[in-house]
Amino acid sequence: MTLANLQRDMEGCSRCSSCKWVPFNQVKGLRFAKNCPSITRYNFHAYSGSGKMLMGLSMVHGRSELNEAVAEIIYKCQLCGACDAACKVFRDDIDLTEVLLELRAQCVEQGESMIEHMAMMDGLKKDDNTLGEPKEKRGEWAEGLAVQDVNTQSAEVIFHAGCRYSYDPDLRDVVRGAVKLMLEAGVDVGIAGKAESCCGGKAYELGYRGEADNYADDMISRVKNCGAKTLVTPCADGYAAFRYLYPKMGKELPCEVMHISQYLEKLIFEERLAFEQEVPLVVTYHDPCHLGRMSEPYTGNWEGDKLLRPARLKRQGRHGIYDAPRKIISSIPGVKLVEMERIREYAWCCGAGGGVLEADPDFAGWTAQERVREALATGADALVTTCPWCVSVFKEAVDELGADLAVYELTELALESAKTPQIGLSIGGNRHDR
């Protein structure tokens, strides 16, 4: 796949600007009707999904060149997929996300990637993680847990912590707690510890295809060697890489892939996990882009006229993971879920994705604050999500706004309500009076 292969998609853009808005039949009010952080923040057409396609088309036609200014706009985008999901409501023959990914590959090919991303890639090559942390510390989060070492032992389930959960001290209780819940349910869990590497998804999204390929091969051989039947990850980015990017790269993991929210839901269904403690909390749930629309499985490269493509092969964002986290929330006694205006495949992004957090933290923070304002408008006590990047940018946004809103990782709520509360959240400390 190259940018030129997507010429018909780019030529097909009717400049209707629907990619800038939540589809009209889903709009509940003007304040939260926009869907694209990039065009909303920078307010110039080039920043929208359509604008980026027009730049790509101009390059394919040879009318303009990729330069620093163009690359800057290409990377002012969280790769959240909201533009694609909205465009598909009207134009299901255009694959906008594919164009955005190819533009980034072109930037790397032509030496126009962001300096911050180059630094991240240097760190990735050195220590196999996107945070620049030492490789040998990667497994420290799991110290003392009775898990198998998949480097030397087999395991039924391989747990891939992902870069952020492996290193972020604020998320250590969450990732340990997720594994504890699985172990207490009798699951045979293994981890790779310090041998675990990045999934490569971030490298692919930034345009570094060769590196992404290597990490995918590494992941696949690790799963093959330990014979795991299921891979479970708490990382939304990793989940999207396994379900969408790997097959797109022509790579297939030899096992079922589940996000931790799906796995916990399965344990509840099998009556191996029960929530018994009351958690008196009104929460609203944020759909992480990479667990939602961006994790919709890859459906292949349709080479003919996309107007003739069967509906089941169109990625419209509907087949992401939306129900499992909501079912877990609803299973917890005392918790009440109130929804924000932009949800499921039309959710507003947290701001951290697509390399924006690294290259433009101010834009990432602005995007997160917008979501926090939407969460506050529901009157909820807490904003719950299930992606490590979302959690950390939301916590910062709440601090910056001075907002009275708690931010929880979904697993924290599960741990709080599990038979034996595991980590003791200060539930109620951030609640509004009502």
- Indicate the residue among 53 and 235 with the shorter CB distance to ligand SF4: 53
Does position 292 bind ligand SF4 by CB under 6 A? Answer: no
Does position 36 bind ligand SF4 by CB under 6 A? Answer: yes
Residue 13 Cβ vs ligand SF4, minimum distance, rounded to whole Å? 3
Which of 3, 6, 13, 329 binds ligand SF4 (CB under 6 A)? It is 13
Tokens of 288: 């992480």
Residue positions counted in the chain: 434
Does position 49 bind ligand SF4 by CB under 6 A? Answer: yes
- Indicate the residue among 75 and 408 with the shorter CB distance to ligand SF4: 75
Which of 3, 6, 18, 191 binds ligand SF4 (CB under 6 A)? It is 18
Q: Using CA atoms, how far apart are residues 124 and 112, in angstroms rounded to an integer? A: 19
* Sign of torsion over alpha carbons 253, 259, 260, 264: negative
Which of 3, 22, 75, 78 binds ligand SF4 (CB under 6 A)? It is 78
Within 13 Å and on the Cβ side, how many CA atoms surround 144?
6
- Indicate the residue among 6 and 77 with the shorter CB distance to ligand SF4: 77
- Indicate the residue among 18 and 417 with the shorter CB distance to ligand SF4: 18
- Geometric angle at alpha carbon 290, from 395 and 348, rounded to 5°: 60
Query: Going by C-beta distance under 8 Å and a sequence separation of 6 or more, which residues neighbour residue 420?
Result: none
Does position 10 bind ligand SF4 by CB under 6 A? Answer: no
- Indicate the residue among 70 and 403 with the shorter CB distance to ligand SF4: 70
Task: Strand 382-385: give its sheet, edge to edge.
Answer: 335-337, 281-285, 382-385, 406-409
| CA proximity to 3, closest of 65, 45, 77 | 65
Residue 417 Cβ vs ligand SF4, minimum distance, rounded to whole Å? 34
Contact between residue 253 and residue 245 where contact means Cβ atoms under 8 Å apart = no
How far is residue 214 from each of residues 114, 200, 219, 368, measured CA to CA in Å?
Answer: 21, 8, 9, 32
For β-strands 335-337 and 281-285, DSSP reports them as: parallel
Does position 295 bind ligand SF4 by CB under 6 A? Answer: no
Residue 289 Cβ vs ligand SF4, minimum distance, rounded to whole Å? 8
DSSP codes of every residue in 238-301: HHHIIIIIHHHTT---SSEEEEHHHHHHHHHHTTS--B-S---EEEEE---TTTTGGGSPP---
Residue 47 Cβ vs ligand SF4, minimum distance, rounded to whole Å? 7
> Of the ranges 8-16, 120-128, 262-270, 301-309, which one interacts with ligand SF4 (CB under 6 A)?
8-16
- Indicate the residue among 76 and 326 with the shorter CB distance to ligand SF4: 76
Residue 409 Cβ vs ligand SF4, minimum distance, rounded to whole Å? 23
Query: Going by C-beta distance under 8 Å and a sequence separation of 6 or more, which residues neighbour residue 375?
Result: 284, 286, 340, 383, 405
Does position 344 bind ligand SF4 by CB under 6 A? Answer: no
- Geometric angle at alpha carbon 371, from 405 and 31, rounded to 5°: 115
Which of 77, 103, 163, 343 binds ligand SF4 (CB under 6 A)? It is 77
Count residues contacting ligand SF4 (CB under 6 A)?
Answer: 28
Instruction: Report the number of secondary-structure helices (H) and strands (E) in the chain.
Output: 19, 9
- Indicate the residue among 37 and 288 with the shorter CB distance to ligand SF4: 37
> Of the ranges 33-41, 156-164, 260-268, 372-380, which one interacts with ligand SF4 (CB under 6 A)?
33-41
Strand partners, 408: 384
- Indicate the residue among 57 and 150 with the shorter CB distance to ligand SF4: 57
Does position 175 bind ligand SF4 by CB under 6 A? Answer: no
Does position 15 bind ligand SF4 by CB under 6 A? Answer: yes
Does position 50 bind ligand SF4 by CB under 6 A? Answer: yes
Site for ligand SF4, residues 79 to 118, rule: CB under 6 A:
79-83, 87, 91, 94, 96, 100
Query: 3-state secondary structure string, 154-206?
Result: CCCEEECCCHHHHHCHHHHHHHHHHHHHHHHCCCCEEECHHHCCCCCHHHHHH
Residue 81 Cβ vs ligand SF4, minimum distance, rounded to whole Å? 6
Query: Going by C-beta distance under 8 Å and a sequence separation of 6 or more, which residues neighbour residue 140?
Result: none
> Which residues of the shown chain bind ligand SF4 in the complex (CB under 6 A)?
13-19, 35-38, 48-50, 52-53, 77-83, 87, 91, 94, 96, 100
